[in-house]
Chain A
Amino acid sequence: MSAAAVPADVAVGTELPPLTVRLTRTDLVRYAGASGDLNPIHHSEHFAAAVGLPGVVAHGLLTMGTALRVVTDWVGDPERVRSYAVRFTKPVVVPDDGVGAEVVVTASVVALEGTLATVALEVVAGGQKVLGAARAQVELGG
């Protein structure tokens, strides 16, 4: 857990501490249960192939939710998040090899209006950007 950001230290260009996570098949099964999204492309090789995917893929909302930790860890309070938007550009393929897929999240402040910061997230898996136009707005003050 990182300390809460001090608003006086934040400016456009401020980089957030990066986050690297690993998603395994077990994580996908756990998210399927927690979210209720039981689409078999997230656990079955057979169904993933049938719709033309290169393998079992992570739920877009799992990648989206996991990536937001880079912001909530930085501000130290998830209640400060005002909005969060992403485009699902590439699926995160999660192999059944006990290792899974590495997802690397970096982020920086791209706008600051008073104490409301807009953070742009870069989310990369397998060398490819998997979320596009990922932006979170977060309240830094009081």
Chain B
Amino acid sequence: MAIAQEHVGRTYPPTEPYEVTAVKVAEFAAALGDPDPRYAGPDAVAPPTFAAVLAATAWQALFEDPELDLALRRVVHGDQRFDFHRLLRVGDRVTATLTIDKVRVRGAADIIGASIAIRTLDDEPVATAVATFFHSREAAA
């Protein structure tokens, strides 16, 4: 079995709740080399691309789904989009839910579009992360 058109629309269960902490936000901002004071302290907001931390957890569902037969080592991240209702902030408790939006098979290459909805545990939408991945199928033996 390999990923195919029939998997479009598949949605995985939300990730385990994730709590945004001041330490993690400061660590992420430092990793971006960004000294903006909005990213420091107990009332900090997270840098916009912090949403990728949640997305990365949600992507695991895709790459670990045995039915799709994807290998992470043969995956290239083609593009990435984020839409923000608001930024994540310290104290938020959120989950990320992945949906397969698009599958195209071109010979040994799969083109996969997936979107991830990040919501608070109170179901407030926070951000959406949309990505395209290029996956090379293992050459037939």
Q: A-side interface residues toward B, CB under 8 Å? A: 1, 21, 27, 30-31, 33-37, 51, 60-62, 64-66, 68-69, 72-73, 77-79, 81-88, 133
CB <8 Å contact, A62 and B78: no
Instruction: Tell me the minimal C-beta distance from A13 to chain B in angstroms.
Output: 24
> A36 with B53: in contact, given A31-B31, A62-B32 (CB under 8 Å)?
yes
Instruction: Tell me the minimal C-beta distance from B72 to chain A in angstroms.
Output: 8
> A78 with B79: in contact, given A35-B56, A68-B48 (CB under 8 Å)?
no
Chain B residues numbered 22-55 whose CB sits less than 8 Å from any CB in chain A: 24, 27-28, 30-36, 38-39, 45, 47-49, 52-53
Residue numbers in A under 8 Å from B86 (CB-CB):
79
Picked from A1, A35, A78, the residue with its CB within 8 Å of the CB of B31 is A35
Residue numbers in B under 8 Å from A35 (CB-CB):
28, 31, 52-53, 56
> A83 with B82: in contact, given A62-B31, A69-B34 (CB under 8 Å)?
yes
CB <8 Å contact, A65 and B77: no
CB <8 Å contact, A69 and B79: no
Picked from B27, B34, B48, the residue with its CB within 8 Å of the CB of A81 is B48
Chain B residues numbered 65-97 whose CB sits less than 8 Å from any CB in chain A: 73, 76-84, 86-87
Query: In chain B, what residue has the closest Cβ to A88?
Result: B77
The CB with the most chain A CB atoms within 10 A, among B31, B76, B77, B86, is that of B31
Task: Return 20 A-B CB contacts under 8 Å, by A number.
Answer: A1-B36, A27-B31, A31-B32, A35-B53, A37-B56, A66-B33, A66-B34, A69-B33, A72-B47, A77-B38, A78-B39, A78-B47, A81-B48, A81-B84, A81-B87, A84-B48, A85-B82, A86-B81, A88-B76, A88-B79
Q: B-side interface residues toward A, CB under 8 Å? A: 24, 27-28, 30-36, 38-39, 45, 47-49, 52-53, 56-57, 73, 76-84, 86-87
Residue numbers in B under 8 Å from A33 (CB-CB):
27, 31
CB <8 Å contact, B80 and A34: no
CB <8 Å contact, B56 and A36: yes
CB <8 Å contact, A61 and B83: no
Question: In the docked arrangement, what's the CA distance between A81 and B48, Å?
Answer: 8
The CB with the most chain A CB atoms within 10 A, among B56, B80, B86, is that of B80
Question: In the docked arrangement, what's the CA distance between A88 and B134, Å?
Answer: 11
> A78 with B28: in contact, given A27-B33, A60-B77, A87-B79 (CB under 8 Å)?
no
Question: In the docked arrangement, what's the CA distance between A16 and B49, Å?
Answer: 20
Question: In the docked arrangement, what's the CA distance between A69 and B73, Å?
Answer: 30
Query: In chain A, what residue has the closest Cβ to B37?
Result: A1
Question: In the docked arrangement, what's the CA distance between A49 and B2, Å?
Answer: 28
Residue numbers in A under 8 Å from B52 (CB-CB):
35, 61, 65
